Amino acid sequence: MKKKSKKFLEALSKVDQDKFYDIDEAIELCKTSSFVKFDESVDLAFRLGVDPRHADQMIRGAIAMPAGTGKTIRVCVITSGDKIKAAEDAGADFVGGDELVAKIAGGWLEFDRVIASPDMMGKLGRIGRVLGPRGLMPNPKLGTVTPDVAKAVSEQKAGKVEYRTEKNGIIHVPIGKVSFSKEDLRKNLDAIVSAVIKAKPASAKGTYLKSLTVSSTMGPGVKIDTMEALNIAN
């Protein structure tokens, strides 16, 4: 077992592991328990009462964070015609058609998101094995396959995040940076919590939101009162 550092143990001592904190207090604790010199990400972890092995219980979506994420997202757009200039004007980092598909097929992956116009989807089959396992394959449900590539680029650059249930019904979502104000972290937290709660599938039985924890990249997890979280979506 990896030995915990002295600084981590000091940060851990600030958090009562048996307590469920109200949201504002949890965010404050997350910020004050950060002990590293870099600007850590702040992440939210959901544990849901769903079985992602069943398609109708797979929670997946995308949401634009009201206060952004604090991350620089490199956007690659695969499109054609006048949409190329529209994507470039919207701030896309890489734009092209067949030449980009060939480049990705050759192993190039210097981007964080891929957006495609519908007319190019037939050509993406050859790179599905490259993009799919990395969660980069464009998907209409996530707004990354769209005729309005300019809007999609703007949303990604502004802080749109994707989320999906992993094994055991866990969802991890970044909601900002430790340097964010408490107010901005709260805006982002409220937005994603509301989206996940409203996405509850009809087939899910029993307790849906089993636990909710906020933490910085290196810091301890802070448990949030799920009853307060559930009220966000009301």
CB proximity list for 131: less than 8 A, separation 6 or greater: 104, 114, 124, 137, 138
pLDDT band at 3 (very low <50, low <70, confident <90, very high): low
Quick: pLDDT tens for 144-177.
999 999 999 999 998 888 899 988 899 999 999 9
Both tokens of 3, joined, read: 């030995």
Is 75-158 in CATH node 3.40.50.2000? no
pLDDT of residue 193: 96
pLDDT band at 203 (very low <50, low <70, confident <90, very high): confident
What letter represents residue 152's amino acid?
Answer: A
Q: CA dihedral in degrees (141, 138, 132, 46; nearest 10)?
A: -40
Quick: pLDDT tens for 50-107.
988 888 899 988 898 999 888 888 999 999 999 999 999 999 999 999 999 999 999 9
Is pLDDT above 80 for 8?
no
pLDDT band at 6 (very low <50, low <70, confident <90, very high): confident
- The CA-atom distances, in angstroms, between 42 and each of 6, 13, 45, 74, 192 are 21, 19, 10, 20, 13
Q: Which residue has the higher pLDDT, 135 or 118?
A: 118
pLDDT of residue 37: 86
Q: Average pLDDT in the 201-212 region?
A: 91
Under DSSP, the state recorded for 232 is H
Neighbours of 139 (CB within 10 A): 15
pLDDT band at 1 (very low <50, low <70, confident <90, very high): very low
Domain ranges of the chain: 16-68+161-232, 75-158
Residues of the chain with pLDDT > 70, as a percent, come to 98
CA atoms within 13 A on the CB side of 207: 10
pTM: 0.80
pLDDT of residue 2: 58
User: Using CA atoms, how far apart are residues 168 and 48, in angstroms rounded to an integer?
Assistant: 8
16-68+161-232 and 75-158 share one CATH topology? no
Radius of gyration of the chain (CA): 19
Q: Average pLDDT in the 18-43 region?
A: 91
**Mean pLDDT across the chain:** 91
Q: Which residue has the higher pLDDT, 219 or 23?
A: 23
Is pLDDT above 50 for 199?
yes
- The fold adopted by the segment(s) 16-68+161-232 is Ribulose 1,5 Bisphosphate Carboxylase/Oxygenase (3.30.190)
Under DSSP, the state recorded for 224 is B
pLDDT of residue 67: 93
